[in-house]
Amino acid sequence: MKTKTPAIPYVVWMAIFVVIPLFLIVVFAFTNFDGHFTLENFSNIDVFLQVFGNSLWLAFIATVICLLIAYPFAYLLAQEGPVFRKIAMLFIMLPMWMNFLLRTYAWMSILENNGFLNQFLGLLGIGPVHLINTDAAVVLGMVYNFLPFMILPIFSVIEKLDNRYIEAAQDLGANRRETFRRVVFPLSLPGVLSGVMMVFIPSISTFAISKLLGGGMSFLLGDLIEMQFLGSAYNPHLGSAISLMMLLLVVIAMLIMNRFGEGEEGAVIM
């Protein structure tokens, strides 16, 4: 059935609620409180490069850790029987249905100086570990919250891998490692890339995790932007400028990803 009209409401919707808001961000970024065109919002770049660097670094670490945990997990799980796989996937998704703030809040009780972890270590005679309100706690929060987002796409792709590719490789004389390196891994890349994007972007822009687990000691890009709109240093123009820069960062990251992957609507949805 070839008909374009059903799409019209959505096209209008997108114009109003996707395109215009982004346009407003650009407008705000290049104006000041008096409404005049200005570049002053971009003048303090050197100060903000520090925040960018820090956020990039933490997001990168979180993504790598997620990948290192998720890939073996997905690979090993794909080798289990179908019923086990299904149940395991459900239990991976279950935490996602609880609100992510609750999941982050849970770690506060664990990481505090008198928290669960230190009580446990105390029983073993190990001195208190000062984890709360550090970069490490924030990375931990990121990994915990976004790990399922890395597992799902990778598992989805590996599960659907055509077994014949592997058999063919083995028939042609490849051992396990070679089969993995030259057949399985490249074929699983779309899932990996999907997972990386679904972890990296939220990680680099989060402010809830850094507020709950960072306590003002781990100040990230998201915190900086939030501060300019609803926080302690109101300046929506500066906030828009920083948002614009974050937008650029995300676009660059996506372009790099697309270089590696096939690009297309590669988001692997269940």
**Which residues inside 85-104 make contact with another protein, applying CB under 8 A?**
86, 88, 90-92, 94-103
User: Which 179-218 positions form the footprint of another protein (CB under 8 A)?
Assistant: 197, 201-202, 204-205, 207-208, 211-212, 215-218
Q: In the set 183, 196, 219, 241, which binds another protein (CB under 8 A)?
A: 219
Q: DSSP characters for 36-57?
A: -B-SGGGTTHHHHHHHHHHHHH
Number of residues that bind another protein (CB under 8 A): 113
One of 112, 149, 155, 194 touching another protein (CB under 8 A): 112
Length of the chain: 270
Quick check: helix, strand or coil at residue 31? strand
- Contacts of 188-192 with CB under 8 Å at 24 or more apart are 188/154, 188/157, 188/158, 188/161, 189/260, 189/261, 190/153, 190/157, 190/261, 190/262, 190/266, 190/268, 191/74, 191/153, 191/154, 191/155, 191/156, 191/157, 191/158, 191/268, 192/67, 192/71, 192/153, 192/154
Indicate which single residue of 160, 176, 181, 182 sits in contact with another protein (rule: CB under 8 A): 176
Q: How far apart are CA 27 and CA 240, in angstroms?
A: 8
Instruction: Answer yes or no whether residue 226 interacts with another protein by CB under 8 A.
Output: yes
**Is the CB of 37 or the CB of 205 nearer to another protein?**
205
Residues numbered 42 to 81 that lie near another protein (CB under 8 A) are 44, 47, 50-51, 54, 69, 72-73, 76-79
The span of 60-68, 187-195, 223-231 binding another protein (CB under 8 A) equals 223-231
Using CB atoms within 10 A of its CB, is residue 154 exposed (0-12), middle (13-18) or buried (19+)? Answer: buried
- Answer yes or no whether residue 269 interacts with another protein by CB under 8 A: yes
Q: Please, which residue, 8 or 124, has the CB nearer to another protein?
A: 8
The Cα 249–Cα 38 span in angstroms is 22
Q: Residue 94 or 172: which CB sits closer to another protein?
A: 94
Q: Name which position in 38, 60, 64, 105 contacts another protein (CB under 8 A).
A: 105
Restricting to residues 114-153, which ones interact with another protein according to CB under 8 A? Answer: 114-116, 119, 130, 132-135, 144, 147-148
